[in-house]
Amino acid sequence: MDSNLSQSFSFLCGELCNLLYVKDYNKSKINSLIDELNAKPYKGELFVSKHDASTLIIALCINVKPTDESLAAKASHLINSILSKQNLQFDLDFLCNVVSWHILCLKKCSDIIVPDILHNMQCILQVNPQLGIKFSEELVGPNGILLNFVNVDKSNMLNIQNPLQICLIALKSIISCLNAEDNNIGTLSIDLKERISQVVVKLLLKGSVKSQDEFLYCKVVIAALRVLSQLHFNDPKVSVPLPEVMGICRYFILYGLLNQGNKPEKIMPSQQTIAAPVIKTYPKGGKKQKLRKQRNNAIESLKKEIPVSDLSLMRDVDNFENNSAYKPASKNYLEPQKAKNCWALTSDSDMSDVESNREAKLIALKSRVRQSSSNLLLVLIKVTEKKDIFGYWWALLPDSLDKDTRFIDDGVKKTLAYCAITDPIASSRASVLSVILALLSGSRIYLSQAESSKKDVSSFIPFSVNLGYVIKCLHKVLVSILDSERSHAVIIVALKCCAALVQSTPYHKMQEGLISELVKSTRKFLVHRDVTLQVGSLITMGCVLSVDPKVEEVLKAIEKDVVSSKVLSPPNSSRIADEECDDFEEGYSDDELFVVRDVKVECDKDSISNSNFKSWILDICFKNMGWIFKENEVVRCKSSAIPVILESLQVLSAIAFHHFSELLIGHIAMLADILKELLQHEHQDVVLQASRTISIIGDALQRLEQTEQPPPLTQCVYMWEELLSPLSAVLQSRDNSPAKATACDCIANIGEKSFKELPRRLQVLCCTLLVGSCSDEEAMVRAAAVRALAMAVMFRTLREDIYFVSDCGENVLRALAESTLMVRTKAAWALGNLSDALVLNMEEPEMDCIDDDLLRRLMEVSIQCAVDNDKVKMSATRGLGNFLRLIKNENLQRDPQMKTLCETAIGKLLDCACKVANMKVRWNACYAMGNAMKNEYLFTCFSGWQAQVFPSLCKLCLECKNLKVRINAAMALRAPVTRSHYGEHFVAVWRGIMAAMENAANVDDFTEYKHKDNLIEQLCVTLAHMCCMLTAADLTDILDPLVFHYECAKELFTQLCHKLPPENNSCFKILQAAKHVTIDLIATNDTQSQSLAMLQNIFIWDM
């Protein structure tokens, strides 16, 4: 602290305070003293003591009257300098008096000094945002002074000479009030936020006037857009007038790029058909490609523009969810270049009106308007339902471009794509591409309706075809940007847009050519010097390779171009333009990467098949990992940066998952050698990603084994022989728990055929590693190990070893006793698999059974799991059904507790089927109940349970809203194999099935409609199953339900049998029933004859 300055300030402060408390003070002397104090260097030095500051500020607020305008303005400036620049802390009451005095000044003084007073108050609010909450009613209430300055209806009545300047400062003050929420200091009421939103929207809709200063107007727009962004981002409950705000966003995103009138116009949404959400299916077992949630940093500018304290909201903005098959391996997916996408709103020094620079600065300022508008649109996409935003796609995205990607008419010019191509400022192009990315992310359900038109010209264009035009135009726009763009920051976002677009496009319904053009424009970045661009292009290629349903164009697009050896360019040439050469890697020609020499006829093609890949993407991926394959030669080279290696492995995983038979089937041994080395990489992330790739390759090989062209078993065995040693090292390491968990998955995915052919020592090693990993320190490893153990126990080689099965059971029991839900969930699934293995063993008489003690403990733990978390219940029910199926009379005789346990187990299954809210638990419980009823000892050694089970299953068939539960209940009802198993409940079950058939025929719930046919089929098959057991005595009892439901039953059976192929099992069962009622069953009285005649009519169809 400068002592001279401090003493001078203290002396002047004392003199001024003495004068101010005089009744009729000398204004001239006070003016002079305040001027002298204002001249001090407050910004550069800290010299004011808290005592002097508080004494002076209190004296000024008490004694300077708001009507004394000149003195009030100077006093306000002095107060602002002390409070905002001298790093002094004051209590809230003291600061409230200061703001209260400023508000009084603004109400009383003329418009000449309003800007000064307002600016000073804004600076004070910016440093102390809690004051904005304290004075919210006075500032932004119904008659708040800030809103009055912004409100276009009221500001005109105020007769202010410079309304834009005052409006700008008022908007900055409002932002200061909103900042309190970011700092967790307080929040404005929802009503006040709604009012601010309405006033600011009205201000923006007013537009500009030619007489206005365009510089000032741009700054007002930037501030207003930021107010709306903060309002809606921090509080999604604030209602958004979408038509108006969408119009504002589109207008200002294109501001300065084309002539579009002097004010925004509201945009109305289109009416379109939205596809029903896809219901996720849960596979019974097996390991699919491990997917990671995609991180989306394209809206980094939004995060910089708006400070956010709520971390959950920030996570929402970071992750525009995209449920696609391909997920990037890189944690920091395409971090944007460091670019300044937000600007201080409190300083205008960077926009001084120097005439020589005025035009350039106006261009820059207009760019800031466009970026602020992009930020607001990103916020809208974040806080608004996807289906509501989809209604505005027609106004935001193009749907008609010519071959040169020039825009045809003015309507098409008003799109985000126009800005992305023509904006002269790179950061603005990146911002608008971020908006396109946000629109595309997670839009697969909407774009799934798109298709290409089969006719070139039509008087009526269906919605699906129009959507197809949008997709086609976006492909052309992005290809154009990738071909011509020089800014890395823009290319990064463009590549992300490509990835999102590929993930969402239904290529199987689009005309061929879109993928090829996109790949052609993307692939040059695979060899770019910039690591981030390499990663981005690899991600895009990963998305292309993961297109589902598969289309032939993908493989065509990644094929090497075959050219004559004479025509091929020399290695040091490049097709890349001279000015771009520095960006791409030296010594590795573009031609050399993407083409293959034409092999002469006399060459031995087999000699090159193992070293030449069909696709250049494999060459690039392996080169990134450190291997170059040239004809029969393998050359080691320096590997790429870690993010590039990781993404190359993820692309290799995508190839393995989707195109193994086409691209990798001949290179299994080579894959093993490369992955073996990567498993020993010093970087832990590479080890993890390599193990994930191995797991996916293992899964792909198992799937191929089920086809007509299985992979060579010797190569598969070689691969696992090579990989098990480094996998063992990973599992025995102390670090990298995720890699250890994935290594367990790898062992689980070896597959039964390969495992059987492995040397005994390696089989033992696998089992030992898994059993040991069940006791690992990390929960995720224990969970993966117990799951892998349960997959291995299904291998016949291990299933026949009763000691291994028992060990597996003990490890499952230990895992189910854990407190960690993740471990218990995997262990419950393992319990289900173990029980499946025991059922398979039971069907082979020569197999040994597990001892009664272990069976009892497994049954006990299954019962406990049936009241655990729903994720545990889902699998526990499967185990319960299987264990009930295993019980024999000898078990009951040897262990008296077993009978009570079985009765309890049946009760738990019923509870899970009828009372649990989770539908998967219910349909699993129904399936398990059917499985249990396949055990004849359940009917001969127990009694009474049928009275609860059969009515409950009938009720589920009839009433449950979820059709999959009804389907499994219907299947369970045909589990009994003899008429005696139904006993006295036969007629009640018959009645229930017929009622359920009538009910199923009338299902009108669209979300369940896809299961309706299956439900009807299962009910018909169950009735046919019971029909095969009918006796003459039963015919009398079933007459009533037959009469009541006859017409419906006949219609459903007729429809079903016209639909089913003759070889179908359901059709065979129905034909069995037809034979029984037409040939085998004989009526003995008139009532029975009536029933039999009706049954015969039900089973006779006009084919």
User: Are 931 and 987 in the same domain?
Assistant: no
* Mean pLDDT over the full length of the chain: 85
Strand partners, 563: 597
Predicted local distance difference test score (pLDDT) of residue 596: 59
Predicted local distance difference test score (pLDDT) of residue 454: 67
User: Are 866 and 979 in the same domain?
Assistant: no
**Percent above pLDDT 90 for the chain:** 61
588 in a domain, yes or no? no
620 has pLDDT over 80: yes
- Residue 462 — pLDDT band, cuts 50, 70, 90? confident
Predicted local distance difference test score (pLDDT) of residue 260: 83
Predicted local distance difference test score (pLDDT) of residue 464: 87
Predicted local distance difference test score (pLDDT) of residue 25: 80
User: Are 858 and 799 in the same domain?
Assistant: yes
1057 in a domain, yes or no? yes
**Distance separating alpha carbons of residues 301 and 203, to the nearest angstrom:** 24
285 in a domain, yes or no? no
92 has pLDDT over 60: yes
DSSP 778-828: SHHHHHHHHHHHHHHTTSHHHHT-HHHHHHHHHHHHHHHT-S-HHHHHHHH
Residue 991: C-alpha distances to residues 980, 996, 1042, 1088 (Å): 17, 9, 8, 16
Cβ-in-10-Å burial (0-12, 13-18, 19+) of 751 comes to: buried
Work out how many domains the chain is built from and give that number: 4
204 has pLDDT over 70: yes
User: Are 801 and 914 in the same domain?
Assistant: yes
**Distance separating alpha carbons of residues 891 and 599, to the nearest angstrom:** 70
Predicted local distance difference test score (pLDDT) of residue 580: 46
Predicted local distance difference test score (pLDDT) of residue 1083: 86
Which contacts (CB < 8 Å, 24+ apart) does range 852-858 have?
A: 852/891, 852/894, 852/895, 852/898, 854/806, 854/809, 854/810, 855/883, 855/886, 855/891, 855/898, 856/895, 856/897, 856/898, 856/901, 857/813, 858/809, 858/812, 858/813, 858/831, 858/834, 858/883
Does the CA dihedral 620-622-623-627 come out positive or negative? negative
1035 in a domain, yes or no? yes
Predicted local distance difference test score (pLDDT) of residue 161: 66
Predicted local distance difference test score (pLDDT) of residue 160: 64
Strand partners, 627: 636
CB 691 within 8 A of CB 739: yes
Domain final residue, candidates 519, 550, 581:
550
Residue 233: C-alpha distances to residues 107, 239, 1007 (Å): 32, 11, 32
Enter the DSSP assignment of 1059.
H
- Read off the tokens for 28: 């001239």
Give residue 16's domain range.
Answer: 3-207
The angle subtended at Cα 154 by Cα 149 and Cα 156, nearest 5°, is 90
What is the mean predicted confidence (pLDDT) over 126-132?
89
Phi-psi region of 239 (alpha: psi -120 to 50; beta: other; left: phi over 0): beta
- Residue 116 — pLDDT band, cuts 50, 70, 90? very high
Task: Please tell me the number of Cα atoms within 13 Å of 408 on its side-chain side.
Answer: 7
CB 811 within 8 A of CB 771: yes
- Residue 315 — pLDDT band, cuts 50, 70, 90? very low
Grouping H, G, I as helix, E, B as strand and the rest as coil, residue 337 is coil
What is the mean predicted confidence (pLDDT) over 400-423?
68
Predicted local distance difference test score (pLDDT) of residue 859: 94
What is the mean predicted confidence (pLDDT) over 504-518?
94
User: Are 919 and 1028 in the same domain?
Assistant: no
- Read off the tokens for 366: 């207009």
- Residue 352 — pLDDT band, cuts 50, 70, 90? very low
CB 245 within 8 A of CB 225: no
Stretch among 278-282, 589-593, 898-902 having the lowest mean pLDDT? 278-282
- Residue 584 — pLDDT band, cuts 50, 70, 90? low
Predicted local distance difference test score (pLDDT) of residue 775: 93
Contacts of 1080 (CB under 8 A, 6+ apart): none
223 in a domain, yes or no? no
**Distance separating alpha carbons of residues 537 and 725, to the nearest angstrom:** 34
Phi, psi of 266 (to 5 degrees): -70, 150
Domain final residue, candidates 550, 578, 595:
550
- Residue 834 — pLDDT band, cuts 50, 70, 90? very high
User: Are 926 and 1040 in the same domain?
Assistant: no
776 has pLDDT over 60: yes
Q: Residue 873's closest CA among 818, 816, 946, 790?
A: 816
Q: What is the pLDDT of residues 23-69, one digit of tens each?
A: 888 889 999 999 999 999 988 888 899 999 999 999 999 999 988 88
User: Are 851 and 907 in the same domain?
Assistant: yes
Domain final residue, candidates 550, 574, 598:
550
Q: How far apart are the first and last CA of the chain?
A: 103
707 has pLDDT over 50: yes
Amino acid at 296: N
**Distance separating alpha carbons of residues 234 and 314, to the nearest angstrom:** 10
| Residue whose structure tokens are 């890949």 | 613
User: Are 1069 and 1008 in the same domain?
Assistant: yes
**Distance separating alpha carbons of residues 506 and 468, to the nearest angstrom:** 9
Contacts of 587 (CB under 8 A, 6+ apart): 571, 572
130 in a domain, yes or no? yes
User: Are 41 and 185 in the same domain?
Assistant: yes
Predicted local distance difference test score (pLDDT) of residue 213: 86
414 in a domain, yes or no? yes
517 in a domain, yes or no? yes
Predicted local distance difference test score (pLDDT) of residue 158: 55
User: Are 993 and 917 in the same domain?
Assistant: no
Q: Residue 848's closest CA among 790, 796, 800?
A: 800
pTM comes to 0.83
User: Are 870 and 982 in the same domain?
Assistant: no
Q: What is the pLDDT of residues 851-894, one digit of tens each?
A: 889 999 999 999 999 999 999 999 999 999 999 999 999 888 88
Q: What is the pLDDT of residues 1058-1101, one digit of tens each?
A: 888 888 888 889 889 999 989 988 888 999 999 999 999 988 76
Q: Residue 416's closest CA among 400, 443, 393, 382?
A: 393
Torsion of CA 776, 782, 784, 785, to 10 degrees: 70
Packing angle of the helix pair 358-383, 311-318 (nearest 10 deg): 100
User: Are 442 and 311 in the same domain?
Assistant: yes
CB 872 within 8 A of CB 824: yes
Predicted local distance difference test score (pLDDT) of residue 634: 84
**Distance separating alpha carbons of residues 456 and 470, to the nearest angstrom:** 15
Largest CA distance in the chain: 127
CB 101 within 8 A of CB 117: no
Q: Regarding predicted confidence, which is higher, 741 or 21?
A: 741
> Residue 929 is part of a domain; what is its CATH number?
1.25.10.10
